[in-house]
């Protein structure tokens, strides 16, 4: 008997005649939490909190654009005949892989080439915040009734179109919350061994979860026998492993800020 995840109302509230959707509201809350957390933690790690704000002012818009672009590219068969809907993100359609690649990528470029900062130190600071933002933002999929899995008789099933399905958003939300808290504990407790370790662990641990949870979903594009997000997860996991092995070994004269 299911008792938890019933069909929700997509509208959080109406303001001046405009419906404010839970999807956008939760993503916005996630971003705010991420920024505040990174800003507050920066001094403890000897980093400039104002530089954190400088970075996110560019990285967040780039992440949103990247997340939407990534989604549209992989759903082009639909959007090529509905070009006006490309900019309509109120209905969903933000892919976290695209957001991370564009947002974190631009942030690293600015830190390295424009502000001449220690890139790895700032990225390590921000990765736990990104994980916690994902944990919050994933609930937008629940209110939009999207990104769900195959049918299930488990008591926490998500009711969609009269059927109970795996709430894959919930699995990812819980994992990202635990991942974010673990990375914060590792960094703030002094147990971090080298710069870039937090980034590498995020890439590996998030990709590990995403690979298996993605296997439950029913709305994924396929690349051969695997889902598109599974292929990306495998690539990011491999990149995390290679980078971990590279960064953990001290090398004389190596620039630790990348």
Residue 256, in any domain of the structure: no
Judge whether 145 and 92 are in contact, CB under 8 Å. Answer: no
The verdict on pTM exceeding 0.85 is: yes
Condensed to tens digits (0 to 9), the pLDDT of residues 70-128 reads 999 988 988 999 898 999 887 788 999 999 999 999 999 999 999 999 999 999 999 99
- Residue 54 inside a domain? The answer is yes
Specify if 1 maps to a domain. no
Q: Which residue segment(s) compose the domain that 130 sits in?
A: 11-247
Classify residue 254: in a domain, yes or no: no
Q: Is residue 4 part of a domain?
A: no
Enumerate residues 6+ apart whose C-beta is below 8 A from 225.
none
Q: How many domains does the chain have?
A: 1
Give domain status of residue 2, yes or no.
no
Query: Parallel, antiparallel, or unpaired: how do β-strands 163-165 and 158-160 relate?
Result: antiparallel
Residues 165-190: what's their mean pLDDT?
Answer: 97
Cα 53 → chain centroid: 19
For position 66, what pLDDT does the model report? 97
- What is the C-alpha to C-alpha distance for residues 184 and 189, in angstroms, rounded to an integer? 8
Mean pLDDT of 136-153: 93
State both tokens at 209. Answer: 């979860």
Contact 244, 210 (CB under 8 A): no
Q: What SS3 class is residue 156?
A: coil
Tokens of 60: 């967040």
Burial 151-160 (b: 16+ CB within 10 A, else e): ebeeeebbbb
- Read off the pLDDT of residues 29-68 as tens digits, 9 standing for 90 and up: 999 999 999 999 999 999 999 999 999 999 999 999 999 9
Residue 81 inside a domain? The answer is yes
**What is the rounded CA–CA span in Å between residue 162 and residue 175?**
27
Residue 150 lies in a domain: yes
């Amino acid at each position: 008997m299911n008792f938890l995840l019933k069909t929700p109302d997509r509208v959080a509230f109406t303001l001046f005649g405009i419906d404010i959707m839970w999807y956008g509201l939760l993503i916005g809350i996630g971003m705010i939490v991420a920024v505040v957390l990174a800003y507050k933690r920066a001094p403890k790690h000897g980093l400039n909190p104002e530089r954190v704000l400088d970075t996110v002012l560019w990285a967040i818009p780039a992440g949103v654009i990247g997340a939407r672009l990534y989604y549209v590219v992989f759903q082009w068969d639909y959007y090529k005949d509905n070009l006006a809907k490309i900019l309509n993100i109120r209905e969903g359609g933000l892919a976290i892989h695209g957001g991370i690649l564009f947002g974190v990528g631009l942030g690293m470029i600015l830190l390295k080439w424009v502000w001449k900062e220690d890139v790895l130190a700032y990225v390590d600071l921000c990765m736990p915040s990104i994980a916690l933002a994902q944990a919050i933002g994933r609930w937008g999929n629940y209110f939009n009734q999207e990104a769900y899995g195959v049918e299930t008789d488990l008591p926490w099933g998500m009711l969609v179109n009269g059927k109970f399905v795996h709430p894959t958003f919930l699995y990812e939300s819980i994992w990202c919350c635990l991942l974010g808290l673990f990375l914060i504990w590792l960094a703030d407790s002094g147990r971090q061994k080298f710069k870039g370790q937090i980034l590498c662990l995020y890439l590996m641990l998030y990709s590990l979860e995403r690979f298996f949870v993605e296997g439950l979903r029913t709305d994924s594009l396929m690349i051969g026998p695997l889902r598109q997000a599974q292929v990306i997860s495998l690539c990011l996991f491999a990149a995390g492993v290679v980078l971990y092995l590279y960064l953990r070994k001290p090398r004389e004269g190596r620039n630790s800020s990348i």
